[in-house]
Amino acid sequence: MTTRMPLQLPDAEALCAALADAMRAHVDPAATALVGIHTGGVWVAERLHAALGLKIPPGSMDVSFYRDDYHQRGLRANAKTSQIPFDVEGAHIVIVDDVLYTGRTIRAALNELFDYGRPARIDLAVLVDRGGRELPIAPSFCPHTLSLAAAQTLELERAADGGLAFRLVEK
């Protein structure tokens, strides 16, 4: 009989700081724009924006309508509107999300972003890469990798005081 050790969840606060450190040399504070994917990616983008001292206000995207499984999943009850408060055309944009899994959410984000214009460059920053890719998408910046079973989901939560933490959800 094998006993399964409980999974040690990564420290989301420490990963935000490590992600900012990894990105610092690769962003121009006056010319780099962040776009967070709702909801966890928006929280991480807000943190990165402050930590990196970026001048362009961060954007946010809800990619629900752009997902290739929209016809199966439908629209989430808490769908948000996308806000891109800068000119996408010719910009250096970093798409920010909390957890990278199959790559389908990022594909949807790219499709939506190109509806706003043609960026000069797009990077991807995530707190955790959990593997399981179904599309050829890889992060430019990622401080942590983690292997999870298909029946498990890693979710980022924000406390009332703004603190970020991960929780493991069993499907």
- Mean pLDDT for all residues in the chain: 92
Kindly report, residue by residue over 79-119, the tens digit of the pLDDT: 678 999 999 999 999 999 999 999 999 999 999 999 999 99
Question: 146: closest CA among 7, 5, 3?
Answer: 7
> Pairing between strand 152-158 and 164-170?
antiparallel
Kindly report, residue by residue over 66-90, the tens digit of the pLDDT: 877 655 555 555 667 899 999 999 9
Give residue 68's pLDDT: 75
On the question of a cis peptide bond just before residue 39, with omega within 30 degrees of 0, the verdict is yes
Q: Which domains does the chain have, with CATH numbers?
A: 12-66+81-170 (3.40.50.2020)
Kindly report, residue by residue over 135-162, the tens digit of the pLDDT: 999 999 999 999 999 899 999 999 999 9
* Cα separation, 81 vs 76, whole angstroms: 12
Q: Which residues contact 98 (CB under 8 A, 6 or more apart)?
A: 40, 41, 43, 44, 126, 127, 128, 156
- Hey, is 110 helix, strand or coil? helix
Give the type of residue at 2.
T
Give residue 27's pLDDT: 97
- 4: pLDDT strictly greater than 60: no
- Please give the average per-residue pLDDT across 49-56, as a whole number: 98
- Please give the average per-residue pLDDT across 29-37, as a whole number: 98
Give residue 80's pLDDT: 77
Percent pLDDT > 70 in the chain is 90
